[in-house]
Amino acid sequence: MKNPQVSVLVHTKNSARTITKHLDSIANQSYRSIEIIVVDNNSADNTINIAKKYTKLIYNYGPERSAQRNYAAKKSSGQYLLVPDSDMLLSKDVVKDCVKTMMENTSLKAVIIPEKSIGERFWARCKALERSYYEDLDWMQAARFFESKVFNSMGGYDEANTGTEDYDLPQRIKRKYGEKSIGSIKEYIYHDEGNLSFWYSVKKKFYYSKSLGVYKKGNFLELYKQGNVIRRYFLFFTKPKKLFANPLVGFGMLFMKTGEFTAEALAYFLYKKKLNKSYEKK
């Protein structure tokens, strides 16, 4: 197939701040064989009215983004699936490069798209600095582009796992198809951090770390790589000139990461027993 269809699975919940730019970045892709599927989760803002300008494939489903993504996949017809967040902007050749990479290497089942953070305030600059360290590290990035039949055969995202499911699915694919089953491209996704605040970042990390107990159950080694605090701090200090090119931002980033690591640990220990019991019943 010369131009296989790509289904872009968009999950939303009160996403009015970012959804126009997000959907614009999808609609303006250089690769044209694309369908956009929006699955909302009871938004109370203008998200749905905005989305209607871009697609007729709009549904309501929940309770969390893993379920929304899987539902969107069931409604899709593409040979490939792209799964961004609704606060992400795609550079215009992202889909083109993903399709090209997958078609040139048929052993690939998924593709990593590197991310950059953008934003308006101090803490967004700190987050951008942090994310810049991860661009060439597969163990710190999650695949977002999948062969649809592989996605479906793996059961999609684990719906008991919200927050670390982005890493869980690619790791399950690696275990089944091998380390070389996931590739990467050079084009970027830009994560719009907006008016990011320190406490918002910490609270968000706590919320999405509640399912770490479930994630650890199946992916201990990868969780160790991503979550090992000493390893992460060591990574930051491998490029001290970069870290302290702006000392205020450098120290701010380290302070923010310390807060996020603390929130992750707290969420893990508070929720792991409850979640593992629930997970084992399924």
**Structure confidence by residue, pLDDT tens digits, 59-118:** 999 898 999 999 999 999 999 999 999 999 999 999 999 999 999 999 999 999 999 999
Q: Which pLDDT value is given to residue 224? A: 44
* Structure tokens belonging to residue 72: 């969107």
Q: Which pLDDT value is given to residue 55? A: 97
Q: Which of 82, 96, 93, 10 is nearest to 52 (CA)?
A: 10
**Structure confidence by residue, pLDDT tens digits, 57-76:** 999 998 989 999 999 999 99
**Structure confidence by residue, pLDDT tens digits, 252-264:** 999 999 999 888 8
**Structure confidence by residue, pLDDT tens digits, 217-268:** 555 445 444 456 677 888 899 999 999 999 999 999 999 999 998 888 887 7
**Residues contacting residue 156 through CB under 8 Å, at least 6 positions apart:** 66, 69, 70, 73, 169
Q: Which pLDDT value is given to residue 273? A: 61
DSSP of the chain, one letter per residue? --S--EEEEEEESS-HHHHHHHHHHHHT-S---EEEEEEE---SSSHHHHHTTT-S-EEE--SSHHHHHHHHHHH---SEEE--BTTEEE-TTHHHHHHHHHHH-TT--EEE--EEEE-SSHHHHHHHHHHHTTTT-GGG--EEEEEHHHHHHTTSS-TT--SSHHHHHHHHHHHHH-GGGEEE-S--EEEE--S--HHHHHHHHHHHTTTHHHHHHH-HHHHHHHH-HHHHHHHHHTSHHHHTSSHHHHHHHHHHHHHHHHHHHHHHHHHHHHHHHHHHT-
Q: Which pLDDT value is given to residue 221? A: 47
**Structure confidence by residue, pLDDT tens digits, 166-208:** 888 998 999 899 989 999 999 999 999 988 999 999 988 887 7
The angle at the Cα of 182, spanning 82 to 101, to the nearest 5 degrees, equals 65
Between residues 211 and 235, the one the model is more confident about:
235
Instruction: Answer whether 0.75 is exceeded by the pTM.
Output: yes
Between residues 228 and 156, the one the model is more confident about:
156
C-beta separation of 212 from 267 below 8 A: yes
Any idea where the domains of the chain sit in the sequence? 6-280
Q: Which of 36, 146, 153 is nearest to 102 (CA)?
A: 146
Q: Which pLDDT value is given to residue 220? A: 44
CATH architecture, domain defined by 6-280: Alpha-Beta Complex (3.90)
The number of beta carbons lying within 10 Å of the beta carbon of residue 124 is 20
Rounded mean pLDDT, 123-135 = 92
* Structure tokens belonging to residue 124: 């967004």
Give yes or no for a cis peptide into 63 (omega within 30° of 0).
Answer: yes
